[in-house]
Chains A and B, each alone.
Chain A
């Protein structure tokens, strides 16, 4: 990469955004609260916000087949980075957005990144958003990630959001809100792994406001060691709509998981459903994989990897 990135920076970018070298098309790479490198494409324009720290990303109507990368890395211990990223996506777009944050903390002070993402999605779009969070470092300082994601979908659009916490995040409070217009569909998948003494809280509020709008909220998590997880997904049906919330957690060690999926119907034509399950890895699953030649430890890891895949 042309810009000055350390091996740690490059490793973090590879982990959270699968970036090796300079990405193609539009991108904005932020490190320790500062812009590292930015590139616009013919159809996607990124500019610095005038009122708040952060960027506006404008995608021209009809943009198809493009990917925009906006990863953030934090390697400075003691830094609290708050950033506002706002997407304005025109009608008839079909694009992929790769976000994510990686923290490398090698000292005792806490490092924190709070990314506030807003998505204004036009009519008749297909959007895929992938966000990965990851923490590492030999320091004792906390690695804190508190993302807020606000989604406004116009009519006839489809949006898939995949939000993943890989590992190493000491504390996270995640707030996700969406308002979904007529005939639009949101598929929101959240996959979290917590370990040691980590804490993860996820609050999701999806409002189905348009006729024939729909949402699928899928939460899969693994809580290891003494970590704690709390899930509060809520789907509100305000029109003839369909909503489904599914929370699945694997609990291990002395972890605790609280899962409170909720549905609210404000229209008699809203069809809403929720389900939640928490359980440990079944002995028969381990046994089965051992009969295929895996050790007990390999079998357990395989089950967790697949569950979170």
Chain B
């Protein structure tokens, strides 16, 4: 179980300024094991910052983070990763010279047979075996590198997986596959928890629990049916005050074979 206790994250208003602005404002939240939580809310509401604080990429100004009863607030990213937290980046880094297979193996923490690698990749719609020897560099499109990022998370199989907007940059076909994958991880019921930051209605509907984050505070939590009305679904064409839901971006659908 992940517990966030009175988290505060402040940044200087301007560089060098002593005046600060609160991005996360005294936030407390519990994420039980075996749950699928979607954190949603308007842009600038603190969603990504909160995810980064859980992974250790940002340090909170105050408050504590407890994972399975252990205080991890002062742990490094590496230590948190070893404690079972995984993080899927919204804009994944690229690595010149690193093969996809190598990245999957680093994620898994062991050598992987080709078959396992292909399985992870096919779950994100990258079906050809030659993907394994391609490099995770600038020659990949944004959608491709994003799908590899998600495959990396599948290979890592963390106890607590945090995905920051996994749908961004993913085409519609892969998005279907992606939602199936999230559902199957959740249905496996093996103690794995997923936190997804998303604006996407179909991902939100998959969740056990929705957290609506606004101005660094939890505005509402509950099951999808309870929270959906809060999200301004009826007003989705207009810019709703709470959250403008979006369809996944239609990208690269013509250039990536999606027939596996």
Contact = CB atoms under 8 A, between A and B. Distances in A.
Contacts of A290: 76-78, 81
A200 to B, nearest CB: 19
B102 interface: yes
Contacts of B13: none
Contacts of B55: 291
B57 A287 contact: yes
Contacts of B92: 288
Contacts of A284: 89, 93
A34 interface: no
Contacts of B107: 292
A43 B54 CA distance: 64
A303 B82 contact: no
A285 interface: yes
Nearest to B81: A293
A137 to B, nearest CB: 29
A284 B149 CA distance: 13
A223 to B, nearest CB: 15
A190 interface: no
Contacts of A37: none
B95 A285 contact: yes
Nearest to B108: A292
Nearest to A296: B78
A306 B109 CA distance: 17
Contact of B95 (A293, A295, A296, A303): A303
B152 A292 contact: yes
Interface string A273-293: 000000000101101111111
Interface in B38-84: 55, 57, 76-78, 81-82
B133 to A, nearest CB: 12
B106 A292 contact: yes
A291 to B, nearest CB: 5
A309 interface: yes
Contact of A285 (B57, B93, B152): B93
A94 B89 CA distance: 45
Interface string B180-202: 00000000000000000000000
A291 B95 contact: no
Interface residues of B, number: 24
A: contact size bracket: 20 to 34
B87 A291 contact: yes
A220 B97 CA distance: 10
Nearest to A284: B93
Interface string B155-186: 01000000000000000000000000000000
A236 interface: no
Interface in A85-119: none
B78 A295 contact: yes
Contacts of B95: 285, 303, 306-307
Contacts of A248: 96
A289 B57 contact: no
A282 B94 CA distance: 10
A41 to B, nearest CB: 32
A306 B102 contact: yes
A307 B86 contact: no
A294 interface: yes
B89 to A, nearest CB: 7
Contacts of A282: 93
Contacts of B96: 220, 248, 306-307
Given A285-B95, A289-B106, A290-B81, 17 more contacts: A248-B96, A284-B89, A285-B94, A287-B77, A288-B89, A288-B93, A290-B76, A290-B78, A291-B57, A291-B86, A291-B87, A292-B109, A293-B81, A293-B82, A294-B78, A306-B97, A306-B98
Task: List the 8 closest A-B pairs by CB distance, nearest first.
Answer: A306-B98, A306-B97, A290-B77, A293-B81, A288-B93, A284-B93, A291-B87, A285-B93
Interface of B: 55, 57, 76-78, 81-82, 86-87, 89, 92-99, 102, 106-107, 109, 152, 156
